[in-house]
Each structure stands twice: as structure tokens, then as C-alpha cells.
């Protein structure tokens, strides 16, 4: 399980830039992100180098930020690898997912409500479930 930072944002100009500005000023690195949007607001989800520090500085800047738990799994850059991963998780409901790419490999970030059980299944089936220190880059 790794910690993801979720930020509730009004759909107005300059709001995401405000987030990146705060993170830059606090020297926090973003390694992956996903943006879900509705008409008036959006949820910005981030994988960062220091989630706790990110929450604190974002809140201090007046933003609505929360921590949530997601699963990070390494997959190989080859045809069928994503399919194999999803097959392993057939029993679980994946709410959303996005890609975390590091210099040598790719990983999927997945939101699964019962993430502990899912990670156990993945480990049993030989998938590399990433630890926080492998993700907070």
C-alpha cells in the first residue's frame, strides 16, 4: 500500500497551478498524477515524494487535501502484461487506475477498496507490489 494525495479543486483557472506552486516551493516531487473532472470541480490525485509533508503544506496554503491508500504494482513493458495483472484481480473492483512510470519500468497505481486482500493475492501470484520507498521518488 502506498499513500496517494487527493486534492478537491474548483474548476477555475489557475487552481492546479496553485498546487504545483505549493509543491515546488516545498521541494516535493510529483512522480505521477491523474485528474478526474466533473463540470464544476475536479479531483487531482498525486503520487509524491513525501505525502505527509505534501498534505501539510497544501492545507496550509488553503487547499483541501487528503491522504488515501492505493496499490502500486510493477508491470513489464510487454504485450499482455496489463491483462495478466487485471486477470489476477478479477475478484476485485478497481475504482480507477493510472500509470506510474519510472526510468526503467512502469507500474500501475490502482484504487481498490479492499487493497490489503488484493495485495495479498498479487504477491501470491508473483506480482511485484511496490513498497512506499520504491514509489515516493
Partner 1 sequence: MIWNEAKECMSRDEMTHLQSARLIKLVDRVYHNVEYYRKKMQEVGLEPGDIKGIEDLTKLPYTTKDDLRETYPFGLFAVPRSQIVRVHASSGTTGKATVVGYTRRDIDMWAECVARSMTMADIGKDDTIQIAYGYGLFTGGLGAHYGAENLGATVVPMSTGNTKKLITMMEDFGVTAIACTPSYLLHVAETLEAEGMLGRIKLRRAVCGAEPWTENMRKLIEDWLHIKAHDIYGLSEVMGPGVACDCAFHSGLHVHEDHFLPEIISPATLEPVADGETGELVFTTLTKEGIPLIRYRTKDLTSITREKCECGRTSARISRFKGRSDDMLIIRGVNVFPSQVEAALLEVDETTPNYMMIVDRVNHQDTLEVQVEVEERFFDDDMRGLDALSKKIQLVLKQALGLAVKVTLVEPHTLERFEGKAKHVIDKRVLD
Point out which residues bind partner 1 (CB under 8 A): 4, 6, 8-10, 36, 38, 40-41, 43, 45, 62-64, 66, 68, 95, 111
Residue 76's contacts (CB-CB under 8 Å, 6 or more residues apart) are 105
Shortest Å distance, C-beta 25 to partner 1: 19
Shortest Å distance, C-beta 59 to partner 1: 9
The CA–CA distances, whole Å, from 113 to 24, 27, 94 equal: 31, 31, 8
Q: Which is nearer to partner 1, 25 or 36 (CB)?
A: 36
Q: Which is nearer to partner 1, 6 or 32 (CB)?
A: 6
Shortest Å distance, C-beta 94 to partner 1: 14
Q: Which is nearer to partner 1, 59 or 88 (CB)?
A: 59
Q: Which is nearer to partner 1, 10 or 78 (CB)?
A: 10
The torsion of the CA quartet 65, 69, 70, 72, rounded to 10 degrees, works out to: 110
Phi, psi of 38 (to 5 degrees): -115, -170
Three-state DSSP class for 21? helix
Shortest Å distance, C-beta 56 to partner 1: 14
Three-state DSSP class for 134? helix
Amino acid at each position: 500500500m502506498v499513500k496517494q494525495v487527493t486534492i478537491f479543486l474548483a474548476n477555475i483557472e489557475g487552481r492546479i497551478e496553485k498546487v504545483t506552486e505549493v509543491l515546488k516551493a516545498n521541494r516535493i516531487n510529483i512522480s505521477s498524477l491523474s485528474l478526474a473532472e466533473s463540470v464544476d470541480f475536479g479531483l487531482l490525485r498525486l503520487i509524491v515524494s513525501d505525502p505527509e509533508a505534501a498534505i501539510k503544506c497544501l492545507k496550509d496554503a488553503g487547499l483541501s487535501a487528503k491522504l488515501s491508500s492505493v496499490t502500486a504494482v510493477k508491470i513489464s513493458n510487454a504485450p499482455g502484461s496489463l491483462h495478466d495483472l487485471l486477470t489476477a484481480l478479477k475478484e476485485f473492483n478497481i475504482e480507477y487506475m493510472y500509470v506510474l512510470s519510472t526510468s526503467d519500468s512502469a507500474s500501475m497505481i490502482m484504487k481498490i477498496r479492499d487493497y490489503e486482500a488484493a495485495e495479498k493475492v498479487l504477491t501470491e501470484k508473483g506480482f511485484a507490489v511496490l513498497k512506499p520507498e520504491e514509489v515516493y521518488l
